[in-house]
Amino acid sequence: MNELQFLTWVRGTGLNIAVGIFLLGVLWRLFEIYSLGRKQDLSAPRHASGASGFHTIFRRSLPPPGMLKRSPVSYIGGYVFHIGLAIVVFLFAPHILLIKNLTGLSWPALPSQFIDLMAVVTMAAMVVVLVDRINKPVKRFLSTFEDWFTWTVTFLPVLTGWMAVQHLLLPYTTMLALHILSVELLLVVLPFTKLFHVFTLFGSRWYNGKVNGHKGVPV
Amino acid sequence: MERSDTLQEKMEQNGMSRRTFIKYCASLASLMALPPSAAYAMAEALGKAKRPSVIWLPFQECTGCTESITRSHSPSIEGMIFDMISLDYQETLMAAAGHQAEEALHAAMKENYGKYVLIIDGSVATGLDGAYSCIAGRSNLESLKEAAKGAAAIIALGSCASFGGIPKANPNPTGAVAVSDIIKDKPIVNIPGCPPIPVVITGVLAQFLTFGTLPELDKLGRPKAVFGETIHDRCYRRPFYDQGKFAKTFDDEGARQGWCLFELGCKGPVTYNACATTKWNDSTSFPIESGHGCIGCSEPDFWDAGGFYKALSMPADPLKMAATAAVAGAAVGVAISFANRAKKGAAKSAHETTKLEDLEK
């Protein structure tokens, strides 16, 4: 298999399989999680829960008082890499083209030099967050294989994409194919690891906020 | 035409000065990424060289490669050099036909055994023992093996000879393969392209005649000097790619402004060739300059690389599994939710209330 055949495979059969597993996994887990249900809470609400669920969705994105100072790397690093990742994934012209091809939706792209800068910033933030996880004994103690693994499968697409654009190490065709392959790996593992927070994040925040409101801690 | 004519004599007959010849050698040397001093060595060697015997065998091909070489703009310098090699067998260009042509071929092979340059264009059919493509009652497979024995070097000209090309495209009914799939014991230079750039073949020939060596090759057997960089990296429309300015259709404002053709399926980023620098038709233009994306014709299996008009970042094939997978995923999810509910129900009905006396037991 030569480089172009490899690229064609990852753009064709590979993508087909990866998107298939991704959709299967996502729908499976969404149905499974949201159909679990909760026991009816018979206690009288201490506070009408109102918009507590909705507010919590946003409040949980902000650090609680004092936490930013105590754990700046987690918060700032986390912000930078999540925002950077969103910019790189959704505002790079070739990515938008892929989304347009798959869904018909499209929007304007940012200049590729800016995307390039964001990719570097994102990778730097991810490395800082990883080093912090290794250095802090508590974080290291709490980390499992899944944490290291999910970091890797998130980091690889950014790294390979950036290296492809920059023509580093390998010929562009091979690197582009490796980039797409790494994204396919991410798609395959996403539904079955903690990366599924992409889908469950807002649902669980809303649920927690609503329960807290019911118990008398409105937001 | 006497076979002993040197290039120098031949050039003088054609009214070419030595100065012009050295300039030509300098341009060939730079094309092949040789040092400037090589130009003089090249001029000396080419000047004295007897016209080398070149045997050109066409297999499963469309004659596009020959068309390309003949458009090296005679009487341009490339065209003259092309006249000056002793092309002993080339079906399209030679006057002879039938038995005479076959005789010329075998005479040239015998006379120059071990010294001639063998140019192959077209892929080699291997299906039905090669019966899909025969010349003078013999399969291409047989002819290739025979001609390769006495060749000093083989030039696989065009994508078909280099990689199998269009005849090898899915489902490859003739069992087409590249020259390098059959011949393993001779130096082979692949000059892919559909068709290849004319000056590349004259460059490779000049280097072979001068230094007796073949150019440095990449891992696909192509001269690095020509196939070292992508079309994309040398494209004059590259700034538009970097700015995110793309033509969306072939007749929109972007297309008129000459913006990047990536979204229209240009394969420039994955195609290693010199079109963007040497250009075509006497350096007039190249496909992207004419408003059409690169189709990647000098890359292996370009025909099956997901369509000419699909951007590289798009799926090569429709995602056939997506709908089925979504339905299957939903079904699994629903099934598990029913199982969970049944479990809950069973747990509820199996629940026994603990009484005070139970604890005191």
CATH number for B229-341 (one of 4.10.480.10, 3.30.70.260, 3.40.50.12280, 1.20.120.80): it is 4.10.480.10
pTM score, two decimals?
A: 0.76
ipTM of the complex: 0.78
Inspect the interface and report whether the beta carbons of B329 and A26 lie closer than 8 Å: yes
**B167 burial class (0-12, 13-18, 19+ CB within 10 angstroms)?**
buried
Which residue, B120, B65, B102, B109, is CA-closest to B86? B109
Q: Compute and round to an integer the Cα radius of gyration of chain B.
A: 30
Q: At which residue do the structure tokens 């072979």 appear?
A: B208
* pLDDT, average across residues B209-213: 77
* Chain A residues closer than 8 Å to B240 by CB: none
Model confidence at B39, in pLDDT bands (50, 70, 90)?
confident
pLDDT in tens, B268-293: 999 999 999 888 887 889 999 999 99
- Beta-carbon contacts below 8 Å between A and B: 140
DSSP 3-state of B96? coil
Q: Residue B295 has which token pair?
A: 């189709």
Question: Of the candidates A132, A154, A167, which has an alpha carbon nearest to the alpha carbon of residue A88?
Answer: A154
Distance between CA A97 and CA B255 in Å, rounded?
Answer: 17
**Per-residue pLDDT at B83:** 58
- Inter-chain residue contact B316 with A94, CB threshold 8 Å: no
For helices B18-31 and B38-48, the axis angle rounded to 10 degrees is: 120
pLDDT attached to residue B82: 55
Give the mean pLDDT of chain B: 85
What's the confidence (pLDDT) of residue B74? 42
Whole-number pLDDT of residue B227 = 93
pLDDT of residue A139: 93
Rounded CA separation B276/B231 (Å)? 6
CA-angle at B201, arms to B196 and B203, nearest 5°? 130
Model pLDDT, residue B317: 81
Looking at per-residue pLDDT, the higher value among B308 and B11 belongs to B308
pLDDT tens profile A33-77: 998 877 778 888 887 767 888 899 998 889 989 999 998 999 999
- Domain locations in chain B? 51-227, 229-341
Q: Which of B95, B118, B89 is nearest to B183 (CA)?
A: B118
Look at B3-7, B264-268, B280-284 and tell me which has the smallest mean pLDDT: B3-7
From B159, B191, B189, select the one nearest B176 (Cα to Cα). B159
Contact yes or no for A9/B314 (Cβ under 8 A): no
Mean pLDDT check: name the lowest of A62-66, A198-202, B10-14, B110-114: B10-14
- How many CB atoms are located within 10 Å of the residue A151 CB? 16
Q: Does A40 touch chain B (CB under 8 A)?
A: no
User: Which amino acid is present at B254?
Assistant: G
pLDDT tens digits, residue range B57-113? 999 999 998 888 777 654 444 554 555 666 777 777 777 788 888 888 888 899 889
Question: What span, in angstroms and rounded, lies between the C-alpha atoms of A54 and B160?
Answer: 63
Using an 8 Å CB-CB cutoff, list chain A residues near B336.
28, 31-32
Looking at domain B51-227, its CATH architecture is: 3-Layer(aba) Sandwich (3.40)
Please report which confidence band the pLDDT of residue B49 belongs to, taking 50, 70 and 90 as the band edges: low
Tell me the C-alpha distance between A185 and A159, whole Å.
14
Identify which has the larger pLDDT, A36 or B216: B216
Does residue A149 sit in helix, strand or coil?
helix
- Cα of B163 to nearest chain A Cα, Å: 11
Q: Do A19 and B321 touch (CB under 8 A)?
A: yes
In sequence order, which residues have a C-beta less than 8 Å from that of residue B95 and are 6 or more positions away?
none
Helices (H) and strands (E) in chain B, counts: 17, 9
Task: Indicate yes or no: CB of B340 within 8 angstroms of CB of A109.
Answer: no
